[in-house]
Amino acid sequence: MRVLSLPCALLLALIPACGGGGGSGDDTGGGDGGVPDAVPGCQPVSGTPTLGLQEVASGFDMPVFVTSPPSDPRLFVLEKTGAIKIISGGQVLAEPFLTVDVSNVSSLDDERGLLGLAFHPQYAQNHKFYVYYTDNNGDEVVDQYLADASDPDRADPTSAQQVFFLDDFAGNHNGGTLAFGPDGYLYFGIGDGGGANDPMAYGQNTGVAFAKLLRVDVSSLPYTIPADNPFVGQAGLDETWSYGLRNPWRWSFDRATGDLYIGDVGQGLWEEIDVVAAGAAAGLNFGWSVMEGTHCFNPGSGCDTSAKVQPVYEYDHGQGSAVIGGYVYRGCRMPGWQGTYFFADYGGHWVRSFTWDGSAAVGVQEHDGLRGGDIVSFGQDAAGELYVVRQDSGQIMQIVPQ
């Protein structure tokens, strides 16, 4: 059994209120990006309770993500239209943490805009964070920023440093997630560039940044390439960690095990979840556009399936339209759900879960209490509790015992 549990005792070291009573929302400040507020109390519920949703905040303009710095009770919400807003002590702060200029984004279906945010693992000390967005030309950008040294609720807009840029040719399939791996390197995922049916044949092209999960070392800028990236010293883009992804919109590392869960959005027929064990070989090929899910795509039959990672779970478009990768639950409120991976479908409006036993997805189930809205993303707070982001209604909902 490789499902580990993260006991409340461990979380207590990180989050003072874990296992304790209700948080007071007392804002004791502190300019180090530390813990300015108490988190809501973690009161574990036994068993595997039926899950429901509790609104945390609403009124956001096309929210697409929510996350927290390590050991920090605040929630940071990304609006696709460019603002990062803070929920602190249950209130949405009036002034955004940061506003990125992505002013050309205007519709729910637009895959462009402010898409991802990752805090540096040592954010409390170095104040560094990273945003992933498409600029007003539709090109992919990763920038590093610093939080304001004197106000933890504000970023310093003058601190922007470009980490990465990719000239893109179409408005869709822009990836959108970036995250630090258990190895301390920054990973970000980029789609095949867009259009439909992989028109540039980038899916299996190891020489371009499209259709990849990239891995770089941002200890200093410009970034450097980790020596054990799979194409270092041979043909292929050195930033590549893995390839053959169509549009890895949302993916995550299991914070307890380091296993990687990718929701790769399909073309017209199949949506898929891929899981990679921590420590697995680098340079994995997830199959696009030779394959869509476990099926041949191009060619439509008799394709070469060798050396391609098969998804652990797929479903057809009778059940939805775009997979939304989520997180393995590692919170302390619902110990019975520890180790369970939650994911959704944007057009299907449902949330499902499974556990990965090291080779297969087991115990797949749908959660009626989590249904509803255009679920565009999940989020995870510092304590490991999970959230659902509803883009259409502008809501951030927490997954709670019903």
Residues that bind Ca ion (CB under 5 A): 168, 170, 173-174, 193-194, 286-287
User: Of 270, 314, 278, 102, whose CA–CA distance to 187 is shortest?
Assistant: 278
Nearer to Ca ion, 149 or 307 (CB): 307
Strand 386-390 and strand 395-401: the pairing is antiparallel
383, 14 contact by CB (below 8 A): yes
Complex with Ca ion: residue 275 or 386, whichever CB lies closer: 275
Amino acid at the residue 317:
H
Residue with tokens 């007071």: 24
Question: Closest distance between Ca ion and the C-beta of residue 231, in Å?
Answer: 19
Residue 76 sits at φ, ψ, to 5 deg, of: -110, 120
Can you tell me the distance from the alpha carbon of 248 to that of 175, in angstroms, rounded to the nearest whole number?
5
Nearer to Ca ion, 36 or 194 (CB): 194
Closest CB to Ca ion among residues 194, 263: 194
- 256-to-14, 29, 227, 329, 377 alpha-carbon distances in Å: 14, 29, 25, 10, 21
* Smallest separation, CB 269 to Ca ion (Å): 12
- What are the φ and ψ backbone dihedral angles of 369, each rounded to 5 degrees? -75, -10
Six token digits for residue 290? 């030779």
- Indicate the residue among 190 and 399 with the shorter CB distance to Ca ion: 190
Q: Which residue is nearest to Ca ion (CB)?
A: 194
* Smallest distance, Ca ion to C-beta of residue 350, A: 21
22-25: list long-range contacts, CB under 8 Å, 24+ apart.
23/73, 23/89, 25/88, 25/89, 25/90
Please report how close the Cβ of residue 288 comes to Ca ion at its closest, in angstroms: 5
Q: Whole-number minimum distance, CB 317 to Ca ion, in Å?
A: 15
| Residue placing its CB nearer to Ca ion in the complex, 172 or 338 | 172
In whole angstroms, the minimum distance from the beta carbon of 46 to Ca ion comes to 38
Question: Prior bond to 49 cis, omega within 30?
Answer: no
Report in angstroms how near the CB of residue 291 gets to Ca ion at its nearest: 6
Using the minimum distance from each CB to Ca ion, give the nearer residue, 26 or 169: 169
Q: Smallest distance, Å, CB 318 to Ca ion?
A: 19
The b-or-e profile of 149-187 (16+ CB within 10 A means b, else e) is eeebbbbeeebbeebbebebebbbbbbbbbbbbbeebbb
**CB-based contacts of 304, cutoff 8 Å, min separation 6:** 290
> Would you say 168 or 198 has its CB closer to Ca ion?
168
